[in-house]
Amino acid sequence: MKQDRIISAILMGLALSAILGLSLIAVFVFKEGVPIVLRIGARDFLLSAEWNPKEGLFGIRSMIVGSAMVTLGAMLIGGTFSLGLALVLTQFAPPRLTHVLKPVIELLAGIPSVVYGFVGVQTLVPFIREHLGGPGLSVLAASIVLGIMVLPTITSISVDALQAVPRSYWEGSIALGATRWQTAHRVMLRAARSGIIAAVILGMGRAVGETMAVIMVGGNTLAVPRGPLDPVRTLTANIALEMGYATGAHREALFATGVTLFVFIMILNTVALAVSRRRSSGAAFR
Amino acid sequence: MVQRIGRDAAAALLALAVTSGGCHRQDERSPVSVIGSTSIQPFAELLAQEYEKKHPDRKVDVQGGGSTAGLQAVASGLADIGMCSRELSPEEAREFNAVTIARDGLAVVVNHANPVDSLSLEQIRGIFSGRIRRWKEVGGTDEPIRVITREESSGTRDCFVHLVMRDEKISREALVQESSGAVKELVQGNPGAIGYISLGLVGKELKAVRVDGVEPTPEKVLAGQYKLVRPLLFVTKGPAAPKAKDFIDFVLLPESQQALEAEGLIRAR
- Chain A residues with CB under 8 Å of B175 CB are 135, 137, 219-221, 231
Dist. CA A68–CA A208, nearest whole Å: 8
Nearest by CB to residue B175, choosing from A52, A121, A231, is A231
Q: A57 CB near a chain B CB, below 8 Å?
A: no
pLDDT band at A281 (very low <50, low <70, confident <90, very high): low
- Chain B residues with CB under 8 Å of A233 CB are 176
Q: A242 CB near a chain B CB, below 8 Å?
A: yes
Dist. CA A246–CA A252, nearest whole Å: 9
Min Cα–Cα distance to chain A from B64, Å: 12
Work out the burial of residue B167: count CB atoms within 10 Å of its CB; fewer than 13 is exposed, 13-18 middle, 19 or more buried: exposed
Tens of pLDDT, residue by residue over B44-91, are 999 999 999 999 888 999 988 878 888 889 998 999 999 998 888 888
pLDDT band at B200 (very low <50, low <70, confident <90, very high): confident
Q: Would you say B264 and B105 are in contact if contact means Cβ atoms under 8 Å apart? A: no
User: Residue A257's closest CA among A41, A25, A29?
Assistant: A29
Query: What local confidence, expressed as pLDDT, does residue A232 receive?
Result: 94
Query: What local confidence, expressed as pLDDT, does residue B26 receive?
Result: 41
Name residues whose C-beta falls within 8 Å of residue A92's C-beta, 6 or more positions apart in sequence.
A180, A184
Q: Hey, of A122, A127, A137, which one would you mutate to test binding to chain B, going by the most B CBs within 10 A of its CB?
A: A137
Phi, psi values for residue B98, rounded to 5°: -120, 140
B17 has a pLDDT exceeding 80: no
Q: Would you say A121 and A113 are in contact if contact means Cβ atoms under 8 Å apart? A: no
Work out the burial of residue A190: count CB atoms within 10 Å of its CB; fewer than 13 is exposed, 13-18 middle, 19 or more buried: middle
Tens of pLDDT, residue by residue over B167-193, are 888 998 899 998 888 899 889 988 999
Q: Hey, of B63, B128, B161, B175, which one would you mutate to test binding to chain A, going by the most A CBs within 10 A of its CB?
A: B175
User: Residue B96's closest CA among B79, B119, B114?
Assistant: B79
Dist. CA A200–CA A17, nearest whole Å: 28
Q: Average of pLDDT values for A247-253?
A: 87
Phi, psi values for residue A41, rounded to 5°: 90, 130
What's at A145, amino acid-wise?
V
Query: What local confidence, expressed as pLDDT, does residue A12 receive?
Result: 92
Task: Collect all residues from B whose CB is shorter than 8 A from any CB in A.
Answer: 65-66, 68-69, 146, 151-153, 169, 172-178, 182, 185-186, 189-190, 193
B10 has a pLDDT exceeding 70: no
Tens of pLDDT, residue by residue over A156-173, are 999 999 999 999 999 999
B23 has a pLDDT exceeding 50: no
- Chain B residues with CB under 8 Å of A245 CB are 66, 68-69, 152-153
Tens of pLDDT, residue by residue over A83-100, are 999 999 998 889 898 889
- Domain borders along chain A are 36-283
Q: Which domains can be identified in chain B, with CATH numbers?
A: 7-103+230-267 (3.40.190.10), 104-222 (3.40.190.10)
Q: Hey, of B84, B156, B157, B172, which one would you mutate to test binding to chain A, going by the most A CBs within 10 A of its CB?
A: B172
Dist. CA B266–CA B269, nearest whole Å: 9
Tens of pLDDT, residue by residue over B92-146, are 888 899 999 999 899 999 999 999 999 999 999 999 999 999 999 998 899 899 9
Backbone CA torsion sign across B34, B35, B38, B40 = negative
Nearest-10 Cα torsion for B16, B17, B22, B23? 70
Domain A36-283 has CATH 1.10.3720.10: yes
- Chain B residues with CB under 8 Å of A219 CB are 175-176
- Chain A residues with CB under 8 Å of B185 CB are 121
What's at A162, amino acid-wise?
L
Contact assignment for B190 to A135 by CB distance below 8 Å: yes
DSSP SS3 for A201:
helix
DSSP SS3 for A174:
helix
Query: What local confidence, expressed as pLDDT, does residue A54 receive?
Result: 81
Nearest by CB to residue B152, choosing from A53, A216, A223, is A53
Query: What local confidence, expressed as pLDDT, does residue B261 receive?
Result: 87
ipTM of the modeled complex: 0.77
